[in-house]
């Protein structure tokens, strides 16, 4: 076993990457795939068949249900919840009702956010705490609210992008005042 599991955690999956840490009272269901060097916080629930990449940090009490794919380097804040059924009913639920959701590389999801199924959260985007994500989030997009609205763009480092350098049709190149990187975003 190349990963750490707290004594109270329940791990039913055989696919946990080396260096991953699974903390108190977490539950990892069968056939879940978790990459290397992840940190799975207290009370996290990861449903069967969920895929999680490398270097993902999942804070306490997050729920990730079947149909969710999380790519590398993603941060998920405390008590965030992912859904997987657009029209849930207890008496008629089946796996056929599952609608997929993808969280792309480097995205950050704020505490207490709710992610409705069937969307894509773009790479290196940032979702503000308490947001209800009901539509796709563009790469590097900064979204907040219930429902979310686009408030701007963020850099790889997470800081807000302000300085516009060039515009070419739909693409805009922005420069980060914090780290100096230039980021191309699609409008």
All domains of the chain in start order, with CATH: 4-154 (2.160.10.10), 159-187 (no CATH)
The mean per-residue pLDDT over the stretch 52-65 comes to 98
In whole angstroms, give the CA distance from residue 34 to residue 166: 40
pLDDT at 166 over 90: no
Confidence of residue 92 (pLDDT cuts 50, 70, 90): confident
Query: Which residues lie closer than 8 Å to 15 by C-beta, 6 or more apart?
Result: 31, 32, 33, 34
Confidence of residue 169 (pLDDT cuts 50, 70, 90): low
Q: What is the mean pLDDT of the chain?
A: 93
Overall pTM surpassing 0.85 (yes/no): yes
Q: Identify which has the larger pLDDT, 180 or 25.
A: 25
């Amino acid at each position: 076993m190349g990963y750490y599991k707290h004594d109270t955690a329940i791990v039913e999956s055989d696919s946990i990457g080396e260096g991953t840490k699974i903390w108190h009272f977490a539950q990892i269901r069968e056939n879940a795939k978790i990459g290397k060097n992840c940190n799975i916080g207290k009370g996290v629930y990861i449903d069967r068949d969920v895929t999680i990449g490398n270097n993902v940090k999942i804070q306490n009490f997050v729920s990730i249900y079947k149909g969710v794919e999380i790519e590398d380097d993603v941060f998920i804040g405390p008590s965030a919840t992912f859904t997987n059924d657009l029209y849930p009913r207890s008496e008629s639920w089946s796996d056929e009702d599952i609608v997929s959701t993808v969280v792309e590389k480097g995205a950050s999801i704020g505490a207490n956010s709710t992610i409705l199924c069937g969307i894509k959260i773009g790479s290196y985007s940032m979702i503000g705490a308490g947001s209800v994500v009901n539509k796709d989030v563009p790469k590097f997009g900064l979204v907040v609210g219930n429902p979310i609205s686009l408030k701007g763009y963020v850099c790889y480092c997470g800081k807000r992008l302000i300085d516009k350098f060039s515009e070419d049709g739909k693409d805009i190149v922005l420069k980060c005042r914090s780290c100096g990187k230039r980021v191309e975003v699609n409008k």
